[in-house]
Structure 1
Amino acid sequence: MYDYMIIGAGIIGLNIAKNLKERFPQSKILVIEKEPEVALHSSGRNSGVLHAGFYYTANSLKAKFTKEGNIALKNFCKQRNLKINECKKVVVAIDEEELLGLEELKRRGDINGVELIWLDEKELEKLYPNIKTYKKALLCPSTATVNPKEVTKEFAKVIEELGIQLILDCKYLGSYNNIVKTSQGDFEAKKVINCAGLYADKIARDFGFSKDYVIIPFKGIYLKDKNNISNLATNVYPVPDLKNPFLGVHYTLTVDNESKIGPTAIPAFWRENYQGFDNFSFSEFFEILFYEAKLFITNAFSFRKLAFSEIKKYNLNYFKNLAMKLTKNMNHEGYNSWSTPGIRAQLLNKNTLELVQDFVVESDENSVHVLNAVSPAFTSSIPFANWVVEEHILK
């Protein structure tokens, strides 16, 4: 009998395990992961950007945890000698309407306590000659990039150092009375914590949760310039549409000084729809197609426009041109290969047909279900895990 059993060894599951063990050193904790190693899905396939916390409204969990998480993950990387690129971020505008969007981001940043610096066009040109904006831009000094796979694997090392049992190649098959059936036998725990990412909603339903929600997958890929021929010196982002959770096509500078354009947010047709027909599932295909058809017919959150614009991004010139609105005289010849695809496990409210923007956790005395841990969940992982423990596991 375990005190706590965590399903999913992504960055959230690993941090919840770490937090519990540090609070209760005598507790018996098990983490199971269906893959042969950690970080094969969202935790290892995201951009690696440590966000600062100025996109989110002040009353949201994302606002609360992103700023704290940025500091905490930087400290973790420094303590464990992991690579970090403190390359900052610039958010630019292309017209008067987007200038209003910049003002809103600055207002949110001020409320959330995130440092943002106004730059006029001359100041921007002096710092970053290849970046262009309309009248003003926002510089965020605290944004950085890390290698997400390296960071997640390091958390896996940490939990094993703490004496937490991690079983790989251990697939969840079902549950009854807090006994979890897996491909490596049955395990019993006083409390089960579901951090299964793309499958969190399905597992939650076995415990009577996620009645109003379903996960809709969106595929994200980047165009890479492996040698940074473009001489990108910082992350460059457009003003996002704050009504949906995607940040638009932007430039990212990786920890290894590669530059990337992206990502896409293409609706996927099954949960691990990374390439071709890999991991194809008929049941997932029909369930997701049902909800995507519903979104298309009702045009909820302008889904039709989103779907058509995302599909166009498979055209390299179209994709590059979206990014080139943010830059000038930059050499784009190096952007010629696609990155490893990632899938965003985006929660959809089945009743309102809205994409849920904030983190969602459901729980009772027997189980806890992390249903919506989308970007910036990687950045927020340390304080978010602490909140899950305090508000859902220990209560």
Structure 2
Amino acid sequence: MYDFAIIGGGIVGLSTAMALGDRYPHAKILVLEKESQWAFHQTGNNSGVIHSGIYYKPGSFKAQFCRDGSRSMVEFCQKHDIEHDICGKVIVATEAQELPRLENLYKRGLDNGIAVRRISPEEVKEIEPHVSCVGGIRVLSTGIVNYKQVCLKYAEIIQQQGGDLRLNTKVIQIIQKGKNQVVETNKGNFETKFVINCAGLHSDRIAKLGKANPEAKIVPFRGEYYELTPAKRYLVKTLIYPVPNPDFPFLGVHFTRMIDNSVHAGPNAVLSLKREGYKKTDFDLRDFAEVITYPGFWKLAAKHADEGIQEIIRSFSKAAFVRSLQKLIPEVQAEDLVPTHAGVRAQALMNNGSLVDDFLIIQGDNSIHVCNAPSPAATSSLEIGKAIVRQIPQPAHLQSLVT
């Protein structure tokens, strides 16, 4: 019998287990992950950025968790000797018509309590000599890290706390048994008093197994990247982002220097035909049918038809992808770029076609379901874990597990 069972071994599931171990040191905690390693999907395929929180609506969970999470992530890396670099980034306007949006983003950064300053095109070139722009802002607190390494440290701490970590264990069903729940898996059944669903790309399905209604469906978007050849890495010193379109949910193609000194360029954002579809040819009939028959998807597609078409063109045309990158760094040529790994983002979408813009954490019967945790979830993971633990009801039996 476990006190808590966490489904999902990505960075949010592991941070939640670690926070539970801190809060309830005598609790029996179980983490179930269907893959053979931790952080296999979203966490292990992201850009490794420690985000500042500049993009997010003031007062939102994203803004709050990201601002606080950025600080706590850096402190965690320092404490555990995890390689990281607070290199900062520039966000640049490449056309005059983007300057009002850049100014709005600057003000949002100030509203969110972030260290941000306006910089001229000349000042941008002092930081990133190869960028072409008409204005920019400098975000000092942005950094880079390898989140897989962070997750391995989380898992190590959970084991030290006495937690039970199970890889290669896929959840099949959740059955109510009195006040408890039985989590049925391919490796046997586990009885628990409380379930926490951090299943990422499958979080809506796990919620339904637990008789909870997320009122949203996970729609997978694949982000495809190129990597600068080693000879051209000098073109990028830190992180270079365009001014995002506030009406479109993605940040646009950008340049990211990774912690291993490679430089990734991208991503675009295209519908994936499989929830774990990292290749253009990946296809799953169930996943595809769920999206294509979901009214919310067609409403979203109609609203963002022009942007969606451009993303698809970039997916199949390297030349189009390169042209987008050349808006930031005109020197970049097609031969300077080679394909690298893609990532898949689990985006919750409402039936009315609106994207769930914030973290979505819902209560069930003796359960909590994290049904939307896109970027900046990795940056925010320590704060999300603590917030989930705070939302757990306090029955009498938990008090005996505190000390």
Considering the TM-score relative to the shorter chain, is it more than 0.5?
yes
Task: In structure 2, list runs of 5 or more residues that go unmatched.
Answer: 396-403
CA deviations over 1:155-212 (Å, ceiling 9, x no partner): 1122112211101110000011111100111111110000000000001012222352
Aligned residue number for residue 21 of structure 2: 21
Distance change (3 Å), C-alpha of 1:346 and 1:393: farther
Alpha carbons 2:211, 2:364 under 8 Å: kept: no
| Equivalent AA in structure 1 for residue 113 of structure 2 | G
| Equivalent AA in structure 1 for residue 92 of structure 2 | V
Distance change (3 Å), C-alpha of 1:304 and 1:229: same
Structure 1 residue 39: Cα displacement:
1.4
Q: Is 1:262 aligned to residue 231 of structure 2?
A: no
Aligned residue number for residue 121 of structure 2: 121
Q: 1:384-395 to 2 correspondence within 5 Å?
A: 384-392=384-392, 394=394
| Equivalent AA in structure 2 for residue 326 of structure 1 | L
Distance change (3 Å), C-alpha of 1:281 and 1:328: closer
Aligned residue number for residue 145 of structure 1: 144
Aligned residue number for residue 210 of structure 1: 213
Structure 1 residue 148: Cα displacement:
2.0
2:19 and 2:300 mapped to 1: Cα distance? 42
Distance change (3 Å), C-alpha of 1:304 and 1:54: same
Structure 1 residue 244: Cα displacement:
2.9
Structure 1 residue 393: Cα displacement:
5.3
| Equivalent AA in structure 2 for residue 170 of structure 1 | T
Distance change (3 Å), C-alpha of 1:18 and 1:228: farther
Structure 1 residue 282: Cα displacement:
2.1
Between stretches 239-248 and 31-40, larger displacement belongs to: 239-248
CA deviations over 1:40-80 (Å, ceiling 9, x no partner): 10011111011101101112100001111111111212222
Aligned residue number for residue 242 of structure 2: 238
1:318 and 1:273 mapped to 2: Cα distance? 22
Alpha carbons 1:244, 1:301 under 8 Å: kept: no
Alpha carbons 2:210, 2:364 under 8 Å: kept: no
Q: 1:64-79 to 2 correspondence within 5 Å?
A: 64-79=64-79
Aligned residue number for residue 187 of structure 2: 184
| Equivalent AA in structure 2 for residue 224 of structure 1 | E
Aligned residue number for residue 84 of structure 1: 84
CA deviations over 1:331-389 (Å, ceiling 9, x no partner): 664312x2212110000001x11111100011135111000000111111111111111
Aligned residue number for residue 63 of structure 2: 63
Structure 1 residue 301: Cα displacement:
6.5
Between stretches 221-230 and 143-152, larger displacement belongs to: 221-230
| Equivalent AA in structure 2 for residue 302 of structure 1 | K
Partner of 1:2, secondary structure, is coil
| Equivalent AA in structure 2 for residue 109 of structure 1 | G
Between stretches 319-328 and 253-262, larger displacement belongs to: 319-328
Aligned residue number for residue 401 of structure 2: none
Q: Is 1:251 aligned to residue 258 of structure 2?
A: no
Alpha carbons 2:214, 2:371 under 8 Å: kept: no
Distance change (3 Å), C-alpha of 1:14 and 1:294: closer
Alpha carbons 1:34, 1:168 under 8 Å: kept: yes
Alpha carbons 2:224, 2:343 under 8 Å: kept: yes
Aligned residue number for residue 343 of structure 1: 344
Alpha carbons 1:235, 1:251 under 8 Å: kept: yes
| Equivalent AA in structure 1 for residue 150 of structure 2 | V
Alpha carbons 1:230, 1:334 under 8 Å: kept: no
Aligned residue number for residue 306 of structure 1: 307
Partner of 1:355, secondary structure, is coil
Task: Name the Cα RMSD after superposition.
Answer: 1.8
Q: Is 1:290 aligned to residue 289 of structure 2?
A: no
CA deviations over 1:126-168 (Å, ceiling 9, x no partner): 232211211x210111111111222222211221122111011
Distance change (3 Å), C-alpha of 1:341 and 1:331: closer
Alpha carbons 1:229, 1:331 under 8 Å: kept: no
Structure 1 residue 294: Cα displacement:
5.9
Alpha carbons 1:179, 1:186 under 8 Å: kept: yes
Alpha carbons 1:19, 1:386 under 8 Å: kept: yes
Alpha carbons 2:300, 2:354 under 8 Å: kept: no
Task: In structure 1, list runs of 5 or more residues that go unmatched.
Answer: none
| Equivalent AA in structure 1 for residue 349 of structure 2 | L
Q: 1:271-282 to 2 correspondence within 5 Å?
A: 271-275=275-279, 278=282, 280-282=283-285
Structure 1 residue 394: Cα displacement:
4.8
1:315 and 1:288 mapped to 2: Cα distance? 25
CA deviations over 1:247-282 (Å, ceiling 9, x no partner): 00111110011111100111111211122555x432
1:317 to 319, 324, 337: 319
1:120 and 1:277 mapped to 2: Cα distance? 44
Between stretches 24-33 and 360-369, larger displacement belongs to: 360-369
Aligned residue number for residue 222 of structure 2: 219
CA deviations over 1:9-65 (Å, ceiling 9, x no partner): 110000110001111111100001001111110011111011101101112100001
| Equivalent AA in structure 2 for residue 207 of structure 1 | G
1:63 and 1:262 mapped to 2: Cα distance? 23
TM-score with structure 1 length normalisation? 0.94
Alpha carbons 1:31, 1:167 under 8 Å: kept: yes
Alpha carbons 1:260, 1:335 under 8 Å: kept: no
2:293 and 2:278 mapped to 1: Cα distance? 20
Partner of 1:75, secondary structure, is helix
